[in-house]
Amino acid sequence: MFGDWSSWTYIASQILMVIGFAFLGVTYFSKKRGNQLLNVIACNASFTIAYILLNAHIAAALSVIGIVRDSTSLALNKYRPRKDKNTPLDYGLLSLWIILPTVAIAFTYQDWYSMLPYLGTILFVVSIWQKNGFVYRLLGIPHLVLFAIYQFLIANFVGTVLQTAVLITAIVGLIKYIRDGKKVNHNV
């Protein structure tokens, strides 16, 4: 049996995973950056509680950091004069979003597979700072692979299935992006 389905905490974690992935799915249909960020914030809030219930401390901490990161981005997005070019503030925030997960792994390390969501998060942070759509999509693949493996190792059934579905979708999206001839120099 994959996961302890007799435990109310496990069942609640699986329900919260479905809710989180639903919010994540909505982001792909949102045209406005602000709406996308709000849905990702809701997704991470749901994931935070689910990971706490699963005793996945690093994943919970990374989800909280994601909420702060995306809330910051939401607040700053309204006041940025140029969104197509990185500024010194962007590089400062990039450093912060790499340092915070590093501090989190130091305090929440449980076993070797705690490193998987940490490394996936670092890849994700680097990918979202890209102004190149191809690099963004390409770096998303190993990020999703690391999280799918982690979901499996912590016996998170719903997380494994839905993370794998997102991974397959991302691969198909990357292939479509390449076939459409948008390999380089396209802003996200």
In a domain, 145, yes or no: yes
Number of domains the chain is built from: 1
Residue 187 has pLDDT above 50, yes or no: no
How far apart CA 65 and CA 182 sit, in angstroms, is 32
pLDDT tens, residue by residue, 82-99: 666 778 888 899 999 999
141-151 mean pLDDT? 95
pLDDT of 182 > 70? The answer is no
Please say if the pLDDT value at position 133 is more than 60: yes
Q: Does pLDDT of 33 surpass 90?
A: no
Asked if residue 51 is part of any domain, the answer here is yes
Q: In this predicted model, what pLDDT tens digit does every residue of 70-83 receive, in sequence order?
A: 999 888 877 776 66
pLDDT in tens, 37-58: 899 999 999 999 999 999 999 9
SS3 state of residue 28: coil
**What is the rounded distance in angstroms from the CA atom of residue 115 to the CA atom of residue 149?**
11
In a domain, 187, yes or no: no
111, part of any domain: yes
Residue 186 lies in a domain: no
Identify the pLDDT of residue 185: 45
pLDDT at residue 31 in the model: 77
Residue 146's domain comprises 8-179
Q: Looking at residues 30-38, what average pLDDT do you find?
A: 84
Residue 18 lies in a domain: yes
Answer yes or no: is pLDDT of 2 > 80: no
* Residue 61 lies inside a defined structural domain of this protein: yes
When mean pLDDT is compared across 79-88, 111-120, 158-167, the lowest value belongs to 79-88
Structural domain contains residue 26: yes
Of 39, 36, 38, the closest CA to residue 19 belongs to 39
184 φψ region: left (φ > 0), alpha (ψ -120 to 50), beta (else): beta
